[in-house]
Structure 1
Amino acid sequence: MSAETLAAALARVGSPVDLLRNVATRAHTFPVTPEFTNWRSEQRAWAESCALLDQSHHMTDLFLSGPDALRLLRDLAVNSFEGFGPGKAKQYVAVSPDGYLIGDAILFHLDEGSFDLVGHPMVLDWVQFHLERGDYDVTAERDDNSAVRASGPPVLYRYELQGPTALALVEQASDGPVPTTKFFNMAELTIAGHRVRALRHGMAGQPGFELFGPWADGQDVLDALVTAGADHGLVRAGAKAYSTANLESAWVPAPLPAIFGDDPLLQAYREWLPLSAIGSLGGSHAPADITDYYLTPYDVGYARTVKFDHDFVGRAALEAMAGQQRRTKVTLVWNSDDVTAAVGSMYREGPGAKFMDLPKIRYALHQEDAVLVGGEQVGISLDCGYVANERLMLSLATIDTAHAEPGTEVTVVWGEQPNTAKPQVEEHRQVEIRATVAPAPFVQFARDAYRTR
């Protein structure tokens, strides 16, 4: 892993766009079993019975404790912390001084003064940077994901149970009834004689639980879940199926962090941040100005998360954006004939369309493809893949509000021109794929019901 800082790499290359679109970063993979059966059946399980997804290895944990832990987190988040006590969790969202997204993660309030921030490293790096340079009485312990951890197992096991039978399964595996738990609240269970924390959660547009505890207890808990699951249609889901769950629930997993401005805080951050922490930028959306890739919390559906009841980095800029939302998060349903033609081009004389590696066809960590209406760009497609439950290729996108009405016909430009030097990019040609705007979340159950169950 390179020790070069992002600032040094930018000084060497000159343009952040050239750096990120051509960075020699390996493909992003989940360091867990790709498939236990096949990813189509595993996707179907969270719609029809219950899928068990092992989240122990692919996310990073930043454990924070101490008298100033809550103050540190509040100083960097757009979220309100009113009523946020132990046993609760929230989608934690941070922005740059200019009000653009740094990223998001899940924040667990474990005990008084004790928190676990979990997710992609973008927000965790941002919080750790401020902790190290600020005046906070906070102790931090970082547990990187299993792809980059220096040695040893994770600190915690983390199992996601999703689907209509998830509650019945957990009740059978527990040594007692499952308490009624509101969405994004936690309960404590006993499974296989071990204390287990259970977050009421949903990653695939279905009801479910995220169960976690000390790594040493993980195999016992897993065995108990699998045993109980035999009566409830449990299917273990691997990395391929898991990577598509967000397409149904409409979570955008990896917006490009807005860290390339001239603000002294961002300059200091780039000098602190290793180049290896930055993922590749790909797609047909290819302006020369890095700020044209930035997104706001409003662009990706976090309007209700933003609360101006406290001071935080980026508050003034974000307040100026409030009420001026230009884009709306939507699902795009790709035209099946056009997708079939793109895939079929690899069987004819080339170059063909950019390869679509099912089920997740995103080939850069930060995927941004142009969305057109009448030849003019009206938005960005951000994450894309195939959902067997719908037999459709879908993408999550943010598009101009004037074109966000369900049923609107748009075009997604697939592939890069010219081809970039990322290892994931082969010689190919751009193709246009018709698409139809649909709501986000796409699944009716997710839109109407799962948060209330």
Structure 2
Amino acid sequence: MSSESLAAALARVGSPVELLRNLAFPPSTFPVRPEFTNWRSEQRAWVESCALLDQSHHMTDLFIEGPDALRLLSDLAVNTFAGFGVGKAKQYVAVNPDGHLIGDAILFHLEEELFDLVGHPMVIDWVTFHLERGDYEATVERDDNSAVRTSGPPKLYRYELQGPTAAALIEEVTGAPLPQVRFFNTTEFTIAGRRVRGLRHGMAGQPGFELFGPWDDGDAVLEALLTAGEHHGLVRVGAKAYSTANLESGWVPAPMTALFSNHPLMQEYREWLPVTKVGSIGGSHDPADIRDHHLTPFDVGYGKTVRFDHDFVGREALEKLAEAPPRTKVTLVWNADDVTAAVGSVYRPGPGAKYIEMPKARYATHHEDKVLKDGRQIGISLDCGYLANERVMVSLATLENEFAEPGTEVTVVWGEQPVSGKPAVEDHVQVEIRATVAPVPFVDFAREAYRTR
């Protein structure tokens, strides 16, 4: 694997836009079985019964330990750490000095001086960089995801249980009443004689727990869950269905990492960061300035997470942005006739529309499509895919505030022109797909309003 830095790659190519649009890096992958039954039925499970998702393989863990571990994390996060004691977790969000997103991950406070930062590598690389250059008494142990780990299994197993029957299943498999634990707090269970940590969690609008523990205990815990699950409609969910769960709950999984600020800190980071750690960009959003791809926490719904009760990288910039955030996160429901026409174009003499993958249509690490109103770009469509429960194609998007009202009609531009050099991009033409603004999370709106239309 190349050790070329991002800074060196930029010097070689000359343009960050050209570099990232043509990188041969695919969307983030889920190195687990694609389907156990079929992804449509598996999507239905977290609404009707209980879904079991194996999260052991697709995320990176960074274990941070030492007396300065909390200070390191606080110095880089927009989040407050007031009351963040052992047994708690949070959506950890980091920005660059200009207030633009580096990324997000889940942070677990495991022991007094031990934390586990879990997610895509963007934030994990950022924290590691600051630990190496800063004055922190802390150490890290990194456990990469199974797609890139060089040897051995993961350090931890992680099983997600979500759906209406998840609580009853846990009570059966533990032989005890479900403990009263608040959202994003952890508790402990005993399953198959093993100590299991459980994060009170929710996905796609459904209650549940994320269960985790040492890898060697994983098979015994899984077998116990599958056996008890026979009485509760348990369905194992593969990579295809799991990749769409965020579209119902409203989480943007891979916003563009803001690496290209002119700030000296970011120049230093680009010299440190291998280009292999940088994701490709895809979609019709094609500004000449790479910084116009960057997003803020407010753009993707993290406004409530930003707290100015501590100093952190990017605080001054975010204080100014917080005065009047210009964009709002929404769901876009794509017009069924327009999607059908785009899909149908591949069966006629071409080139036709860019192929729309099912159920997840994203074809680069960071997906950004233009959203238009009366021909003018008013936002960016981000992650996109098909929801079998609602029988709709949707995307998460960030729009200028005046166009974020549910019911507003907009247009998504699908496809790239000129066609980039990414392997997943074939010769095609751009098409316009009408869409209707809906709330985030879409799953609540769909159950209350969309299905009754």
Report the TM-score when normalising by structure 1: 0.98
Maintained 8 Å contact 1:186/1:200: yes
Q: Secondary structure at the match of 1:443?
A: helix
Could you tell me which residue of structure 2 aligns to residue 246 of structure 1?
246
**Which amino acid is 1:185 matched to?**
N
TM-superposition CA deviations, 1:276-301 (whole Å, max 9, x none): 11111000000010111111101111
Give the Cα separation in 1 of the matches to 2:204 and 2:155.
25
The percent identity for this pair of structures is: 75
Q: Which amino acid aligns with 2:412?
A: V
1:288-334 deviations in Å (ceiling 9; x for gaps)? 10111111101111111000000000001111111211100000000
Separation of aligned partners in 2, 1:165 and 1:439: 26
* Equivalence for 1:415: 415
Q: Distance in 2 between matches of 1:392 and 1:407?
A: 15
SS in 2 for 1:178: coil
Per the alignment, residue 451 of structure 1 pairs with none
Q: Which runs of 5+ in 1 are unaligned?
A: 449-453
Aligned length: 448
Task: State whether residues 176 and 190 of structure 1, in contact with CA within 8 Å, keep that contact through their aligned partners in structure 2.
Answer: no
Residue 193 (structure 2) aligns with? 193
Pairing 1:99–2:78 present? no
- Equivalent position SS for 2:206: coil
Structure 2 counterparts to residues 95-134 of structure 1, below 5 A: 95-134=95-134
Shift of 1:259: 1.2
Local SS of the residue matching 1:213? strand
Deviations 1:45-68 (A, max 9, x none): 000001000000000000001100
Deviations along 1:167-208, one digit per CA (max 9) or x if unpaired, are 111111114222111110101100000110000111222111
Q: Which amino acid aligns with 2:17?
A: V
| Alpha-carbon distance between aligned partners in 2 of 1:147 and 1:79, rounded to the nearest angstrom | 30
Post-superposition offset of 1:239: 0.2
Cα contact 1:249–1:446 (8 A) shared by 2: no
Does the 8 Å contact 2:256/2:366 carry over to 1?
Answer: yes
Alignment of 1:191-340 (within 5 A): 191-340=191-340
Contact 1:206-1:445 at 8 Å conserved across structures: no
Q: Is the 8 A contact 2:26 2:365 kept in 1?
A: no
* Residue 263 of structure 1: how far off its partner (Å): 1.2
Counting only pairs closer than 5 Å after superposition, residues 130-145 of structure 1 correspond to structure 2 as 130-145=130-145
Name the counterpart of 1:66. Answer: 66
Letter matched to residue 224 of structure 1: A
Change over 3 Å in CA distance of 1:290–1:394 after alignment to 2: same
CA distance in 1, matches of 2:310, 2:212: 31
Question: Is residue 330–residue 439 contact of structure 1 (8 Å, CA) maintained in 2?
Answer: yes
Task: State how 1:329-368 maps to structure 2 within 5 Å.
Answer: 329-368=329-368
Give the whole-Å Cα distance in 2 for the aligned partners of 1:23 and 1:60. Answer: 22
Report the AA paired with residue 171 of structure 1. E
What is the alpha-carbon distance in structure 1 between the residues aligned to residue 2 and residue 178 of structure 2? 47
Mapped to 2, the partners of 1:340 and 1:432 lie a distance apart of 12
Counterpart Cα distance in 1 of 2:12 and 2:333: 40
**Where does structure 2 lack aligned partners over 5 or more consecutive residues?**
449-453
In the alignment, is the contact (CA less than 8 A) between 2:27 and 2:366 conserved in 1? no
Q: Distance in 2 between matches of 1:362 and 1:205?
A: 22
Aligned equivalent of 2:47 = 47
| Residues 392-417 of structure 1: per-residue CA shift (max 9 Å, x gap) | 00100000000000000000000001
Counterpart secondary structure, 1:42: helix
Paired amino acid for 2:53? L
Secondary structure of the structure 1 residue equivalent to 2:2: coil
The letter for the 2-side match of 1:129 is: F
Q: Is the 8 A contact 2:50 2:161 kept in 1?
A: yes
In 1, the alpha carbon distance for the partners of 2:74 and 2:283 equals 34
Matches of 1:373 and 1:410 in 2, distance apart?
5
Q: 2:76–2:312: 8 Å Cα contact kept in structure 1?
A: yes
Shift in Å, 1:26: 3.9
- Which residue pairs with 1:383 in the alignment? 383
Runs of 4+ deviating beyond 4 Å: 445-448
The residue identity in structure 1 corresponding to 2:149 is R
In structure 2, distance between residues paired with 1:21 and 1:206: 36
Secondary structure at the aligned position of 1:380 is classed as strand
Amino acid at match of 1:47: V
In 2, the alpha carbon distance for the partners of 1:325 and 1:261 equals 19
Q: CA deviation at 1:445?
A: 7.4
Q: In structure 2, what residue type is equivalent to 1:67?
A: P
CA distance in 2, matches of 1:24, 1:114: 36
For the 8 Å contact 1:371–1:410, the answer to whether it is kept is yes
